[in-house]
Amino acid sequence: MRYIHTSPWWLRLAFSRHCIWNMPTNEKEIYLTFDDGPHPQITPWVLNLLNQYQAKATFFCIGKNVDSFPEVYRRIIDEGHRVGNHTQHHPNSKKTDESVWLQDVKEASKRIDSDLFRPPYGQISRFQEKVLREAKPGFRTIMWSVLSGDFDQNLKPEDCVKIVTKHSKPGGIIVFHDSEKAWPRLEKCLPEVLHILSKKGYRFKVLK
């Protein structure tokens, strides 16, 4: 599995200048994000843990999961967190016809009321991003500054903790996953990350 945990300048250059990789602030503020939910057990667990730290986060939801677990989706919103569009079926843009991919995003928009969008696998071309903004005015494509790696079965939870705490900076956008694939690492690393970054004086906010 090849990927990098941070988003250096040369990686950002490959994407549209409209993609957002971090939030402009000098304050000790971190933006936790969770992809691929809602999940009937994992997402409520995440919400309970966030409540313990008075932390807010942004959940990039898959439309089909919103259909399956509407009460969990509603809880995310009711507890003051934000939601974002993560497509209806999580298609890979490199392996999907562009018109089909765009329709999948539009389909998710019928269920997920948000101007925030994160492409599955972080894959979106400059052209796709332009077409998406033209089709959905106001959409903002949210990427990340730190990828926790919680989806990587070759990593241990303590590896994920080290990655996140080492690279977190003011305005950082951190990616976790409220999914079954990530759960073995998320269960142990998220409490540690919240504890360590809280002790460092960071506050956890929703993307605006």
135: phi then psi, degrees, rounded to nearest 5: -80, -35
Contact 159, 147 (CB under 8 A): no
CA 147 to chain centroid: 9
The candidate with the shortest Cα–Cα distance to 20, out of 94, 112, 118, 89, is: 118
Question: How many Å apart are CA 96 and CA 36, to the nearest integer?
Answer: 18
Tell me if residue 35 is catalytic: yes
Catalytic residue among 5, 35, 86, 104: 35
Span between the terminal Cα atoms of the chain, in Å: 32
Residue 176 · residue 190 · CB < 8 Å: yes
- Choosing from 81, 152, 177, 178, the catalytic residue is 177
78 annotated active-site? no
What residues have CB less than 8 Å from 179, skipping those under 6 apart? 35, 36, 37, 39, 42, 151
150 vs 45: CA distance, rounded Å: 16
**Catalytic residue list:** 35, 177
